[in-house]
Chains A and B, each alone.
Chain A
């Protein structure tokens, strides 16, 4: 990268990039410019995410247009790009009879790191992704969460400038998903590595990404910063514990709040756990006090109280209806 410019440097830039297979068009004149930070690439299955990654790694030629990664042309400088980019595939890619340490060391050497450096970096990276004693055991016995961590570690072990993560939360339970998303966030904030993360779930990227690119049918639907997608609203989310006196704490709180003059609104979200959330419109300061006092009076424990942000999904849906009309 030409390091002198202080203004926004593009990490990934595509210019009317198209990829046509005999029967389908995977990418259709896609023009995006992605800067440093965490970028979410959102699209349904078959939207062209994987094809884009292949082209960015210089492994598939574009039918038309061009792409550059870290300022290098994907058509001519594939090997140079792959030296500075890490890739975490969507599917399982770990041999079961090898330990995480041996595997990641091997992958580090495949990226050109000398043996000693490969060992040091492997120990560091596995620790950073949260794998400790179990790294000496064969990977066949790992949980999905641990396997995902090893996959992330092998993408980071050579200290790339950019990592491409293909559906890293696939197959994880909600807790594992949150941990992985937190880890991805840290890859940028703590490690200073830019991230392109794909998902077909809009919701999970909104907390993690600085920038969201939405593609559909190989076409660019939207590219903008997450902040503009998800400004804070006046909606307040409250989660409380249950107690012996109130076996359903959320319900008891709703009733009590209604009595106190703050009417909870129905939670439209169909995500699991929505029943445990109490949602109120906090348009006035006193609502916060009322909520606090009501919870205290009921003797419930407050798990969280947070301002709700706009969901990208809402923006996305708006955008689709606009596009359709």
Chain B
């Protein structure tokens, strides 16, 4: 069981590749084993990096970084305009930016979601995770947190750029800092809701293509349906526009739009710039929390019997 041969002293001048010594005996590991919390954290960082193609081939880095760059371009242009022209406010609110860039975010999610979970299914890597101390719930938790964090970075970077620009343009620091804080809060809520929905969809198929299509579909179709119905209702309806506010709950995009309009002082894209009341905002928040929780529970169920 011990080393069969004593390791010979290597010659002082290593000349050829064949002079290497391969037969070093097996060494046991008696260092620390850091257990489940560490494994979960490692899976989180690994997945977060994976969401940007880090640790994978060069080709898989192109799209995430290209999309992140596109995400930042309008912010840079706005900042440039604000600084040169000397406007007294930014052309777009901090909480509105992510909504304005939704198509790009949708593309990024369609890329990152399947990257995080579909590949483990497609290449049957799941049994390797679950034959280790990690429990199924740890896997779900790490993956969901990783996607939410990746998306937060994706949506918060332009918000930071806007804030820096606002300060350079010598806009009121107090107002801008408050707006910036709300922008970050909105990014967080946006990321958590979208991560839960997208991960659930991605986890249902090992096929990346299906995942991409299903995610884009789930993010766009309800949004456009809700928006069209809202406009029809607004045009035909008489009196209160509250039905427009209620309808907003039916798609993630309009739900978040309503949320930032009602609670974070932003302007909605709703017809007639309908501003939902605070009570409606609380409703939005409840729906956001509810949808996130339901998706998460379904994800746990999806993985309960997975592996091996």
Show the binding face of A for B, using Cβ within 8 Å.
50, 53-54, 57, 59, 79-80, 82-83, 85-87, 89, 91-98, 102, 106-107, 109-114, 117, 121, 124, 127-128, 138, 154, 158-159, 189-192
Chain A CB within 8 A of B220 CB: no
Task: Note all chain A residues with C-beta closer than 8 A to B43.
Answer: 110
Which B40-80 residues have C-beta < 8 A from chain A? 42-43, 46, 55-57, 60
Task: Note all chain B residues with C-beta closer than 8 A to A85.
Answer: 131
Instruction: Tell me if B29 and A117 are in contact (CB < 8 A).
Output: yes
Residue of A nearest to B136 (CB): A59
A79, A111, A190: which has the most chain B beta carbons within 10 Å? Answer: A111
B129 to chain A, nearest CB (A): 6
Chain A CB within 8 A of B128 CB: yes
B28 to chain A, nearest CB (A): 5
Q: Which 9 A-B pairs have the closest CB atoms?
A: A87-B131, A159-B29, A112-B33, A109-B42, A191-B26, A79-B133, A112-B34, A93-B124, A95-B123
Residue of A nearest to B40 (CB): A110
Residue of A nearest to B139 (CB): A110
The interface residues of chain B, by DSSP majority, are classed as: loop
Assess A113 versus B128: contact at CB under 8 Å? Given A59-B307, A79-B36, A97-B60: no
Task: Note all chain B residues with C-beta closer than 8 A to A54.
Answer: 308
Instruction: Tell me if B125 and A95 are in contact (CB < 8 A).
Output: yes
A140 to chain B, nearest CB (A): 10
Instruction: Tell me if A110 and B134 are in contact (CB < 8 A).
Output: yes
Instruction: Tell me if A92 and B123 are in contact (CB < 8 A).
Output: yes
Residue of B nearest to A54 (CB): B308
Instruction: Tell me if B33 and A192 are in contact (CB < 8 A).
Output: no
Chain A CB within 8 A of B31 CB: yes
Chain A CB within 8 A of B38 CB: yes
Task: Note all chain A residues with C-beta closer than 8 A to B174.
Answer: none
Assess A89 versus B128: contact at CB under 8 Å? Given A57-B308, A82-B133, A111-B39: yes
Instruction: Tell me if A93 and B33 are in contact (CB < 8 A).
Output: no
Task: Note all chain A residues with C-beta closer than 8 A to B34.
Answer: 112-114
Task: Note all chain A residues with C-beta closer than 8 A to B132.
Answer: 82-83, 107, 110-111
Chain A CB within 8 A of B290 CB: no
Residue of A nearest to B22 (CB): A127
Task: Note all chain A residues with C-beta closer than 8 A to B128.
Answer: 87, 89, 93, 107, 110, 154
Residue of B nearest to A191 (CB): B26
* C-alpha spacing A154/B42, complex, angstroms: 16
Instruction: Tell me if A112 and B29 are in contact (CB < 8 A).
Output: no
Instruction: Tell me if A190 and B26 are in contact (CB < 8 A).
Output: yes
Task: Note all chain B residues with C-beta closer than 8 A to A92.
Answer: 123-124
Q: Mark B91-119, 1 if CB is under 8 A from A, else 0.
A: 00000000000000000000000000001
Instruction: Tell me if B25 and A93 are in contact (CB < 8 A).
Output: no
Q: List 25 A-B contacts (CB under 8 A).
A: A50-B308, A59-B131, A59-B308, A79-B133, A82-B132, A83-B35, A85-B131, A87-B131, A89-B308, A95-B119, A109-B46, A110-B39, A110-B42, A110-B134, A112-B33, A112-B35, A112-B133, A113-B34, A114-B38, A117-B31, A128-B26, A154-B128, A159-B29, A190-B4, A190-B25
Task: Note all chain B residues with C-beta closer than 8 A to A87.
Answer: 127-128, 131
Chain A CB within 8 A of B27 CB: yes
* C-alpha spacing A194/B273, complex, angstroms: 70
Contact among A53, A89, A111 for B33, CB-based, below 8 A? A111
Chain A CB within 8 A of B135 CB: yes
Task: Note all chain B residues with C-beta closer than 8 A to A190.
Answer: 1, 4, 25-26
Instruction: Tell me if B131 and A57 are in contact (CB < 8 A).
Output: yes
Residue of B nearest to A57 (CB): B131
Given A106-B42, A159-B28, A159-B29, 7 extra CB contacts under 8 A: A57-B308, A79-B135, A82-B131, A83-B33, A89-B128, A124-B27, A127-B24
Instruction: Tell me if B55 and A102 are in contact (CB < 8 A).
Output: yes
* C-alpha spacing A127/B55, complex, angstroms: 22
* C-alpha spacing A325/B148, complex, angstroms: 64
* C-alpha spacing A107/B126, complex, angstroms: 11
* C-alpha spacing A110/B31, complex, angstroms: 15
A100 to chain B, nearest CB (A): 13
Task: Note all chain B residues with C-beta closer than 8 A to A124.
Answer: 24, 26-27
Instruction: Tell me if A93 and B127 are in contact (CB < 8 A).
Output: yes
Chain A CB within 8 A of B274 CB: no
B66 to chain A, nearest CB (A): 18
* C-alpha spacing A106/B60, complex, angstroms: 18
Instruction: Tell me if B28 and A192 are in contact (CB < 8 A).
Output: yes
Contact among A93, A127, A138, A189 for B125, CB-based, below 8 A? A93
Task: Note all chain B residues with C-beta closer than 8 A to A117.
Answer: 29, 31-32
Task: Note all chain B residues with C-beta closer than 8 A to A114.
Answer: 31-32, 34, 38
Chain A CB within 8 A of B303 CB: no
* C-alpha spacing A87/B57, complex, angstroms: 27
B141 to chain A, nearest CB (A): 14
Residue of B nearest to A94 (CB): B123
